[in-house]
Amino acid sequence: MAGPEIIDDRTEGRAYPLPSVQNNLDDDVGRIREAITTIDSDVSELEVLLLALGN
């Protein structure tokens, strides 16, 4: 038997996964980790680009 469907809300600009009050917390923990990891990667890329522009 399948569990409840996960609500896959995303941010408009970068499509980062957003938690939903309708999701089970166990499901959203992975989504939150994915969002933080992706944001960290995006910020790191921006830092490299900004440093390159500064030189």
Residues 5-32: pLDDT tens digits? 999 999 999 999 999 999 999 999 999 9
Domain that holds residue 9: 1-55
Task: Say how many domains are in the chain.
Answer: 1
Q: Is the pLDDT of residue 3 over 80?
A: no
One-letter amino acid for residue 9 of the chain: D
pLDDT of residue 4: 80
CA–CA separation, 40 vs 14, rounded Å? 13
pTM listed for this prediction? 0.82
Return the H-helix or E-strand segment holding 17: none
Of 32, 29, 1, 35, give the one whose Cα is nearest residue 16: 35
